[in-house]
Amino acid sequence: MSETSTTLPLPDQAREFGFFVDGDYVMAGDRELFERSSPAHDVPVSKIVKCSQDDLNDAVAAARRAFDDRRWSGLPGAQRAAVLLKAAAGIRARAEELAYFETLENGKPISQSRGEVEAAAGIYEYAAGAARALHGDSFNNLGDKLFGLVTREPVGVVGLITPWNFPFFILSERVPFILASGCTIVAKPSEVTSATTLIMAEILKEAGLPDGVYNVVTGSGSTVGQALIEHTDIDMVSFTGSTAVGHKVLAAAQGNFKKLGLELGGKNPQVVFADANLEDAADGVTFGICFNTGQCCVSGSRLIVEKSIAAEFEALLKERFAKVRVGDPLDPETQVGAITTNAQNDTITHYMESGKKSGARLVCGGDVIESEHGQYIQPTLFADVTSDMEIAKDEIFGPVLTMHTFESVDEAISIANDTIYGLAASVWSKNIDKALKASRQIQAGRMWINCTLAGGPELPIGGFKQSGWGRETGIYGVEEYTQIKSTHIELGDRDHWLS
């Protein structure tokens, strides 16, 4: 664990937030507050309202009014784009505040939070262009008397449920695209990381977003989140979280046949062939499992390495894992911060013990790091892992990497696909034929070749199999929040059915 000192001060007291409905904050009043402490420092940093069913109903009603009177959906794409561009500028103007609260509530390194906030501003800028590019189609092949139009219309009121691992970045992969489509939003962030979602409400209002278009309710997923999913005046739910909870979202959405966008869990392979640049691959694999403390749905948590180089590659990884700077997330030099919640810390330690008991060989790590404050886990590598082990099958959501070996391309692909998940994958090889074969046959919504966790908002994201359905970002991300309407227009006089 790094011994450097904190370079940013801790807050003197927790900042109290209201929830946001119809363009204004609603303060707690006699409602109960949830106090969030920094997982790295054990000091209170924010206070969030525990919203009631009535509060949720008010937020949904505000979003419904804003959608039905067309104050947003009725605007030209150019005007919606202008608001999104101003929002991007607003994010940059408040970047340090956003990054600071992201780190305080989540425990991720401040350098990572700053990078995510800057990238989020870029997503809003991209979505502004998409708002102007959204279009339908026409059919001029129906004969002289009939003309066809296909138009895209906003789906309506979107319930947006975001997780605690990337509170602001995942919000920013959703909100600007939902807004670009013309929809209105009721957002429900994780109760442990709500601050930046609420700050974004202020930024959007200042950017000129009409009241009622973006609303935020706060509280637990089991109460206000469940009620949001079940609400009959919500037209679509976008949910990011575990596959287990995703199953519950599916069941809850049946009441009014909501459209769903689901980005769920992953057990993502990183396939390393013997002809790869092993130094690059080792660096990429280390980054892929340690980024965001491994609390990342697209984390490269399964290493699948060619047997002939397995020992050499294992040594490279052990060396790199030892260099990872774990420590105070408010220190700009830190690369891996604190585990975000006590429950997740317990989950990760359970899997590390499971790996030891099941016969996997512990190469390095495998334990918590003793600290006066906060909860930290050593980057961990298990080798000699078999497919029946718990650590090989389950999403651990921490800095724990399992190592498997293969002897042929087909075997590598088979191991990569031997999972219920299909969110992301990486392939490391300097042989383009081999790399492309693997990338085409591995079942995953996102593929990286000789890189990992790379890219921007131009390409869509989403999963295969039990990693979810639907796509976010890119032009696909705007289209996701639309419905398609076919219109037939008859020209001239009608040929009468009755003579």
Q: Name which CATH class applies to 269-449.
A: alpha beta
Do 289 and 379 contact (CB within 8 A), yes or no? yes
Active site residue 97: no
**C-alpha distance across the termini of the chain, in Å:** 89
pLDDT of the residue at 2 = 47
Can you tell me the distance from the alpha carbon of 92 to that of 120, in angstroms, rounded to the nearest whole number?
A: 9
Do 119 and 467 contact (CB within 8 A), yes or no? no
pLDDT of the residue at 276 = 98
Considering the candidates 263, 306, 314, 472, report the single residue annotated as catalytic. Answer: 263
CB count within 10 Å of CB 411 equals 15
Active site residue 263: yes
pLDDT of the residue at 499 = 85
Question: Residues near 404 by Cβ (< 8 Å), separated by ≥ 6?
Answer: 302, 303, 304, 305, 385, 386, 387, 392, 415
* Residues in the chain with pLDDT values less than 50: 2-5
Domain 15-264+467-485, what fold?
A: Aldehyde Dehydrogenase; Chain A, domain 1 (3.40.605)
pLDDT of the residue at 181 = 98
Phi, psi of 288, deg, nearest 5: -65, -30
pLDDT of the residue at 418 = 98
For 100, the token pair is 């600071």
> Using a CB cutoff of 8 Å and minimum separation of 24, what contacts does 428-432 make?
428/270, 428/271, 428/272, 428/273, 428/276, 428/277, 428/280, 428/281, 428/284, 428/285, 429/272, 429/273, 429/275, 429/276, 430/275, 430/276, 430/277, 431/273, 431/275
pLDDT of the residue at 1 = 54
Considering the candidates 51, 183, 296, 297, report the single residue annotated as catalytic. Answer: 297
pLDDT of the residue at 3 = 46
**How many whole angstroms from its chain centre is CA 494?**
52
| Domain residue extents for the chain | 15-264+467-485, 269-449
Can you tell me the distance from the alpha carbon of 228 to that of 477, in angstroms, rounded to the nearest whole number?
A: 22
Q: How many helices (H) and strands (E) does the chain have?
A: 15, 25
pLDDT 10s digits, 140-189 = 999 999 999 999 999 999 999 999 999 999 999 999 999 999 999 999 99
